Structure 1
Amino acid sequence: MKTKSTLTELEEVAELANGNIGAFNQLYERYHQRVYANILKMVKAPEYAEEILQDVFVSLWQNRFNIRTGESIGGWLFVVSFNKSLTFLKRRLKDSIEFVATYPFEIAEQDDTAVDETYRLQIAILEEAIDELPKRKREVFRLCRYEGKSKEAVAEQLGISPKSVKDYLKQSNKAIKAYVSMRYPYAGETTLLLTWLGMW
């Protein structure tokens, strides 16, 4: 029998869906550094990034029974951390003209009751677009974006050159954005999420 420390990520996700706190802790250890780094890129302030990080993982625990098993949790964390960072920016935009200058794009208000539905929609749209990628590009995208691996590590894992990884990633970003723009032109904040995706 496998111990907690030897569970695969998919096994951890399945255990999380059963309310296993140990699996939650393992997923936190697996992902918290990458999620924090991505939040920090958006909010720019370490103290706020840390708060948002904790909020993301609180949400993961609160939504543990709704998580889809058999899939990586990376996409869920990616979308939720983006949205929580965006909510933070909305508050700051109201409070600071200087902050508006730092983030000069218009952000619409969102009813709090619609937040969960927005997360689900964005995750579904992003996953749909990723599934349309050729197999190798899909692998590169998930390893780099969701799992936070370096281009060099992905190149070694897949037996390709770092330049190929860079090219696949660039092509994947472009293809995903084009797919969403074509299929979901009124997807609202999903467009901002994809802009963030390009710098992740």
Structure 2
Amino acid sequence: MNNYESFTDQQLIVLMKQGNHAAFNEIYKRHSPKVFYQVNQMLRDQEAAKDLVQELFITIWTKARNIKEDTRLGGYLYIAAQNRVFKLIQQGKLKDDYLQSLAEFTAEMSFDASQPHDERELQALIDMEINKLPAKMKQVFELSRKEHLSYHEIAQQLDISDNTVRKQVSNALKILRDKLAPHAPEAMIFMMLLRRG
């Protein structure tokens, strides 16, 4: 019987792509606790984090053929988990306090040295695109991002509804994602947009 604990991630990926359940189980055992911790830090909701991690690993198994054999599995899983969290945000399935938790979490993170774009360069691009937003949308977005006000506080300050604030922030994020997509991975863009100014 193979001792999969001694296998490298790359060896396990090769076996998983061949349909080896034991190799997948080792990948899950090795990486799921860290991925769960990272997702839970972002969501601050253990049940939602468990569900997301389970779905992520089911997808890893069912779409194993799409994973390159030389993939750095830890980084791959981290980015995949982040993308799922961001998708929940896009779909409006997270509460405002989750967004605040995510902003606090990403502010503490440092980018992997392997990222293709310099953080300062991307931040300059983001600032340039923010300045191009329609005036009211820019004002709402900057109150959220730079002043760290809640949607309710912004609504009170600008004498508009909470829903209008939520829609303006959502629209701003969509515009910025679309504009910045050619310049960096989506996960990196989200981290820059959601981090504390």
Structure 2-normalised TM-score? 0.54
Question: Deviation digits for residues 124-146 of structure 1, max 9, x if unmatched?
Answer: xx88x6166xxxxxxxxxxxxxx
Does 2:2 correspond to 1:17? no
Q: Percent identity?
A: 19
- Equivalent residue for 2:145? none
Letter in 2 for 1:22: A
Paired residues of 2:42 and 2:98 also in contact (CA < 8 A): no
- Equivalent residue for 2:114? 130
* Residues in 2 aligned to 1:20 and 1:182: alpha-carbon distance in whole angstroms: 46
Letter in 1 for 2:16: L
Residue segments in structure 1 that go unaligned for 5+ positions in a row: 105-125, 133-174
- Equivalent residue for 2:6? 6
- Equivalent residue for 1:47? 47
Residue 75 of structure 1, CA deviation: 1.9
Paired residues of 1:56 and 1:80 also in contact (CA < 8 A): yes
- What RMSD in Å do the two structures reach over aligned CA positions? 3.4
Paired residues of 1:35 and 1:77 also in contact (CA < 8 A): yes
* Residues in 1 aligned to 2:69 and 2:191: alpha-carbon distance in whole angstroms: 24
> Any residues of structure 2 matched to 1:96-175 within 5 Å, and which?
99-100=95-96, 102-103=98-99, 130=114
Does 2:78 correspond to 1:78? yes
Residue 90 of structure 1, CA deviation: 3.6
Number of aligned residue pairs: give it. Answer: 130
Paired residues of 1:39 and 1:81 also in contact (CA < 8 A): yes
Does 2:180 correspond to 1:186? yes
Question: Do the aligned partners of residues 186 and 29 (structure 1) sit closer, same or farther apart at CA in structure 2, a change above 3 Å counting?
Answer: same
Larger Rg: 2
Residue 34 of structure 1, CA deviation: 0.6
Paired residues of 1:79 and 1:193 also in contact (CA < 8 A): no
* Residues in 2 aligned to 1:20 and 1:31: alpha-carbon distance in whole angstroms: 17
- Equivalent residue for 1:59? 59
Paired residues of 1:14 and 1:70 also in contact (CA < 8 A): no
Residue 70 of structure 1, CA deviation: 2.0
Residue 69 of structure 1, CA deviation: 0.4
Question: Do the aligned partners of residues 179 and 68 (structure 1) sit closer, same or farther apart at CA in structure 2, a change above 3 Å counting?
Answer: farther
* Residues in 1 aligned to 2:63 and 2:80: alpha-carbon distance in whole angstroms: 11
* Residues in 2 aligned to 1:182 and 1:192: alpha-carbon distance in whole angstroms: 15
Paired residues of 2:12 and 2:23 also in contact (CA < 8 A): yes
Residue 27 of structure 1, CA deviation: 0.5
* Residues in 1 aligned to 2:28 and 2:36: alpha-carbon distance in whole angstroms: 11
Residue 79 of structure 1, CA deviation: 1.2
Structure 1-normalised TM-score? 0.53
Question: Do the aligned partners of residues 180 and 75 (structure 1) sit closer, same or farther apart at CA in structure 2, a change above 3 Å counting?
Answer: farther
Residue 103 of structure 1, CA deviation: 2.2
Paired residues of 1:28 and 1:57 also in contact (CA < 8 A): yes
Runs of 4+ in 1 over 4 A off after TM superposition: 179-185
Paired residues of 1:82 and 1:193 also in contact (CA < 8 A): no
